[in-house]
Amino acid sequence: LFAGPVDFVKGVVAMPGLPPADRLEVCFAGRSNVGKSSLINALTGRKSLARASNTPGRTQEINYFALGDQRYMVDLPGYGYAEAPLAIVQKWQALLKSYLSGRQTLRRAFVLIDTRHGVKAVDEEILQLLDRSAVTFQAVLTKADKVSRAERDAIIDQVRSALSKHPAAYPELVVTSSEKGDGIETLRAIIATLE
C-alpha cells in the first residue's frame, strides 16, 4: 500500500469540506508538536508531504492524504498548546472534536504521545471523547530517539496503565521515531491491514 502513490488531497477547515466518506481512513491526533506531521512523512517516505515544524500549532487544518484509491490518512491539528491567537485555536479545536466524534469512515485514531512526557490531562480529554464516540484508538509513542531505554520503559508503563481505563483503546501501543525509523514498518503494516 505504501509502495504506491501517496497524494495530498485537501486541507479542510470545516466539516462540510470533508471528502466523501467513501473509503476507510485513519487519523493522527496528539498534542501540538508531538510529531504527527513528521510521522506521516516517515510513513510515506516523503520528507515534506505533511508540513512539520518546530512551532507548535503548525497544522491548522484537517489534511487529507490518499494512499492509492483505497484509504485516507488524516493529519490533524494539535491540541493543548499552540502559538496562534486564541480565537483561531478555538476554531480548529472545535473542528478537531467534530471530526473525531463524527466521521463515519474513521476506522482508527492513532493518538500520539511524546515518549518524554507520557499521557497528559489534555490527552485524557481526547481519549474520553474517543470512548464516547466509540472510535478505536491506538497509542503511538513518538520521538523515542530522545530518551534512554529506561525512560522509555517507564513511560510505556504509564501509557499502558492510562489506556487500561479506556474502553475504546486498542491494547497494543507502537513505539516510534520518525527520525530513526523505529516502528515505522510496524505502523505501515497496521494501517495496510485494517479492514
Nearer to Mg ion, 37 or 138 (CB): 37
Give dist(CA 105, CA 85) in Å, integer: 31
Contact map string, positions 37 to 56, toward Mg ion, x by CB under 5 A: x-------------------
Separation of alpha carbons 54 and 36, rounded Å: 12
Q: Please identify, using beta-carbon distances, which residue of 58 and 107 lies nearer to ligand GTP.
A: 58
Angle at which helices 184-193 and 36-44 cross, to 10° = 80
Give the integer Cα–Cα distance in Å for 80 and 38: 18
Side-chain-facing half-sphere of 133: CA atoms under 13 Å: 22
The residues binding ligand GTP (CB under 6 A) are 30, 32-38, 52-54, 56-59, 78, 142-143, 145-146, 177-179
Q: Compare residues 70 and 81 and give the one whose CB is closer to ligand GTP.
A: 81
Out of 33, 59, 60, 63, which residue is the one contacting Mg ion (CB under 5 A)?
Answer: 59
Quick check: 60 binds Mg ion (CB under 5 A)? no
